[in-house]
Amino acid sequence: MPSTKRDQILERAVSIASVEGLEGLTIGRLAKELNMSKSGLFGHFGSKEDLQLAAIKEASEIFEQRVIAPAGSSEAGLDRARAITDNWLEYLADGFEGGCFFHAASLEFDGRPGRVKDEIARVTGRWYVVLEEQLRRAITRGQLASDTDATLMAFELHALLGEANWAFRLFGRPEALSRARVLLHSKLAHAQGAGERRTA
C-alpha cells in the first residue's frame, strides 16, 4: 500500500523521537525537517501531545510487525518465546536511528503522569504479557518445569534485552547483542532442560 503524507510524517517523527526523545518532537521541528508549514502539520496533529501519541502508535505498529508478528509462525510456547527475543534483538540492531524507541520513551516519561506515559505503559505492557504468555504455554506443554515462575522469567529476559540496547547504543558495543542472544538462549535452554528432567 502506497504511503500517505501522514505516514511519511510519522516515519520521520518516530526517527527524531528515537534520538532526541518525545519532548524533542515538536510541530516546529518536524515542519522544518519536512519542509512543511506548521499549519499543514497542525492539520494532521492538533497539538504536540497528539503528535507524540501518534508517534507512539506508529512505533508500536513497527514493533509489532518486526518482533511479534513474525514469531507467530513458530510453535506456541518455548519456540515462540525464543523467536520473540531473537526478533527483538534484530530490531535493536537495525530498528530506529536512536535505538529502541520504547526503551528511550519509557525512561523519559516513567516519572511524568499523563496520557503519553499511560500509552507507553499500555503498549509496552502488552508485549511483556505476550512474552510471559508464551512462557506459561511452555509450562503447560511440559517444556518448562511446572514450578517455573513465568513472570520472573519474562522479567529476566526483558532485562537482558534492555541491557543489550543500553550497551549497544550508549557504548557502541555491537557484541552486546550477540552476547545477549547467547544468554537468552542459554537461559531458555537451561529452563527447558530442567523441565524435561523433571518430567522424565
User: Quick one: DSSP state of residue 114?
Assistant: S
Q: Does domain 59-199 have CATH number 1.10.3720.10?
A: no
Q: How far, in Å, are 35, 85, 107, 182, 195 from residue 176 at the CA level? A: 38, 14, 20, 10, 28
Q: What is the pLDDT of residues 61-87, one digit of tens each?
A: 999 999 999 999 999 999 999 999 999
- The pTM (predicted TM-score) of the whole model is 0.87
Most confident of 89-98, 107-116, 163-172: 107-116
Q: Name, in order, each residue with C-beta under 8 angstroms of 70's C-beta and a sequence gap of 6 or more.
A: 83, 87
Could you tell me which residue, 56 or 38, shows the higher pLDDT?
56
Contact present, 155 and 92 (Cβ < 8 Å) = no
User: Average pLDDT of 166-178?
Assistant: 90
Domain limits, the chain: 59-199
Q: What is the pLDDT of residues 13-36, one digit of tens each?
A: 998 898 888 998 888 888 888 888
